[in-house]
Chain A
């Protein structure tokens, strides 16, 4: 075998082995986070509530503003298309279904990954780099239970609430454009939306999606932070990986979930 082929194979093999090893490490980390979650619920007010504030409440501004604009754009685009077929009153249905099924969970998850996920990775990575995690272990306090667990559950609880807020603001944005600015009949806008949106099929499925995205984002963010090399460069790289990996995971999972939820597979 030529030398350069052997070298190429060695590099591929090395990367595959590293990738599988890291996947196994991440899976064990996730399992530990779940099995050591008792403290997150036992001290919910003191620990998890604080993380809901940091991950959820502090993400509200970006979620509200983005939701409003996405809804307004949907109102404009939806009206422009639907009026060609003489059914501009259906714009409320279009806005609501787009948001509850897809855009609400997906866009809010992407924003959550960029805003809260990256912050979690940087925080955990810096705690590790400055030996705060080691210090905690030496103080006989399990960092997985005390630091990782509350952040994980804080993120998982925040995500569906943020997605709901995003969708609600989007519907309001669509209403502002379609009804207030363009002049679509308000009664038709709301009644068609009410009759077309099914609670279990549309809203519950949207909530399930956002919970799954919340688990994926926080698990990725916390693992990347915990696994980050303890240097400035290492933390910066981990933060970037969190945003990229989370975004790809959200889009991939969205396809799989949508295929199961709305195609009857």
Chain B
């Protein structure tokens, strides 16, 4: 199967702090791929790199056959019109209504008559079950509803690639289930490729086709959800089953406990 996204030997550092170290990944067309890992392991940085917002220090990120870091602004914007992104907290424009949020990209990039924009927006809102909330302002929405509106906005132009940055964070179990179902359903309906960056293991394993595990800037494990569930790799096991201690220690490195409590003298 042809790959839509190919990441080859990507390294990246903020100033001198390395964030990504030799990452290799592929995302086949039409599939949902999850990138999982602890907070701060470089998942979102990788997503921003796929969207062309960051350039790798070395290595290449290729989307649809184009190397993202080689694109000029005009070409980058052309490419981004084929992408949709769902932000962690929605990132809805707070000064315009739900309807206008979803219509934003359609109005900016097309010359469609307003009647057609209206129909398209209602179709997208209907797909996420929020047609009835079209006149509401973002401040009137719950967290789950805001995420669904942001999803409708992300798919407004029927993108070939949809990126989700922590789509389940801060949601109640019902909203989480709704969002995860929508991710699967919309990807299938649009024939889109999806990349889900998350640390919510159980919810995402239900809907994705393939999983990459990242830790400390490198890919430590990968496989289908079934392979991941059965994995005996210590890090994967600890992460999937939420164990308190393991390769990722419970205690942040520091001086011995007894020494901090001044129960034994510091060694020279």
B94 touches A132 (CB 8 A): yes
Tell me whether A140 and B80 are in contact (CB under 8 A): yes
Please tell me if B91 contacts chain A, counting CB pairs below 8 Å: yes
Is B89 within 8 A of A138, CB to CB? no
Q: When the two chains form their complex, are residues B104 and A139 in contact, meaning their CB atoms are under 8 A apart?
A: yes
The answer to whether B251 has its CB under 8 Å from any CB of chain A is: no
Contacts of A137 in B (CB 8 A): 53, 80
> Which B residues are CB-close (under 8 A) to A17?
none
Contact, CB under 8 Å: A138 / B77: no
Q: Is A134 an interface residue (CB 8 A)?
A: yes
The answer, yes or no, to whether B267 is at the interface (CB within 8 Å) is no
Q: Which of A101-150 contact B (CB under 8 A)?
A: 126-127, 130-132, 134-135, 137-142, 146
Q: Assess whether B53 is in contact with A138, with CB atoms less than 8 Å apart.
A: yes
Q: A131-B87, A135-B85, A135-B87 are in contact. Are A140 and B109 (CB under 8 A)?
A: yes
B contact residues around A126 at 8 Å (CB):
94
B77, A140: Cβ atoms closer than 8 Å: yes
- Contact indicator per residue, chain B 65-89, by CB within 8 Å of chain A (1) or not (0): 0000000000011101101010111
Interface residues of B in 76-114 (CB under 8 A from A): 76-78, 80-81, 83, 85, 87-89, 91-94, 104-105, 108-109
Instruction: From the candidates B81, B88, B89, B91, name the one contacting A140 in the complex (CB within 8 A).
Output: B81
Question: For the complex, what is the distance from the CA of A138 to the CA of B87, rounded to whole Å?
Answer: 10
Contact pick for B108, options A127, A134, A141, CB 8 Å:
A141
- B-chain residues with CB within 8 Å of residue A146 when the two chains form the complex: 108
Q: Check B51 for interface membership: any CB of A closer than 8 A.
A: yes
Docked CA distance A140–B88 (Å): 19
Closest chain B residue to A54, Cβ basis:
B95
Give the complex CA separation of A135 and B88 in angstroms.
11
Interface residue tally of chain A, by bracket?
Answer: 10 to 19
The answer on a CB contact under 8 Å between A138 and B94 is no
Of listed A132, A139, A146, residue having the most chain B CB within 10 A: A139
B77 proximity list for chain A (CB < 8 A): 140, 142
The distance from the CB of B95 to the nearest CB of chain A, in whole angstroms, is 8
Could you tell me how many residues of chain B have their Cβ less than 8 Å away from some Cβ of chain A? Answer: 20
**B108 contacts across to A, CB distance below 8 A:** 139-141, 146
Q: Which residues of A contact B80 (CB under 8 A)?
A: 137-140
Q: How far is A42 from B51 in the complex, measured between Cα atoms in Å?
A: 28
- Whether A131 and B91, one on each chain, are in contact in the complex, defined by CB atoms closer than 8 angstroms, is yes
Bound CA span A142–B92, Å: 16
For residue B87, which residues in chain A have a CB less than 8 angstroms away from its CB?
Answer: 131, 134-135
**CB-based contact B93/A138 at 8 Å:** no
Distance A35 CA – B85 CA, assembled complex (angstroms): 28
A142 to B109, CA, bound (A): 12
Residue on A nearest B88 in the bound complex, by CB: A131
Measured CA separation A138–B154 after assembly (Å): 10
Q: Across the interface, do B51 and A140 meet the contact criterion of CB distance under 8 Å? A: no
Q: Which one, A131, A134, A138, A141, contacts B83 given CB within 8 A?
A: A138
What's the least CB distance linking B229 to chain A, in Å?
A: 33
Contacts of A140 in B (CB 8 A): 76-78, 80-81, 105, 108-109
Q: Is the CB of B53 within 8 A of A130?
A: no
Flag if A135 contacts B53 (CB, 8 Å).
Answer: no
Q: How far does the alpha carbon of A70 sit from the alpha carbon of B88 in the complex, in Å? A: 50
Interchain CA distance A132-B92 in the complex, whole Å: 6
Q: How far is the CB of A180 from chain B (nearest CB, A)?
A: 44
Do the beta carbons of A141 and B91 come within 8 Å of each other?
no
| Contact indicator A130/B109 (Cβ below 8 Å) | no
Q: Determine if A131 and B89 form an interchain contact, defined as CB atoms under 8 angstroms apart.
A: yes
Q: How far is the CB of B250 from chain A (nearest CB, A)?
A: 29
A-chain residues with CB within 8 Å of residue B104 when the two chains form the complex: 139, 141
Which residues in window 42-80 of A have CB below 8 A to B? none
**Residues of A with C-beta under 8 A to B83:** 138
Provide the residues of chain A in CB contact with B92, threshold 8 Å.
132
- Using a CB–CB cutoff of 8 Å, the interface residues on chain A facing chain B are 126-127, 130-132, 134-135, 137-142, 146
A-B contact pairs, 13 of them (CB 8 A): A130-B94, A134-B91, A137-B53, A138-B51, A138-B53, A138-B83, A138-B85, A139-B80, A139-B104, A140-B80, A140-B105, A141-B108, A146-B108
B residues touching A (Cβ–Cβ < 8 Å)?
Answer: 51, 53, 76-78, 80-81, 83, 85, 87-89, 91-94, 104-105, 108-109
Known: A126-B94, A132-B91. 14 other contacts (CB 8 A): A130-B89, A131-B88, A131-B91, A132-B92, A132-B93, A134-B87, A134-B91, A135-B91, A139-B104, A139-B105, A139-B108, A140-B80, A141-B104, A141-B108
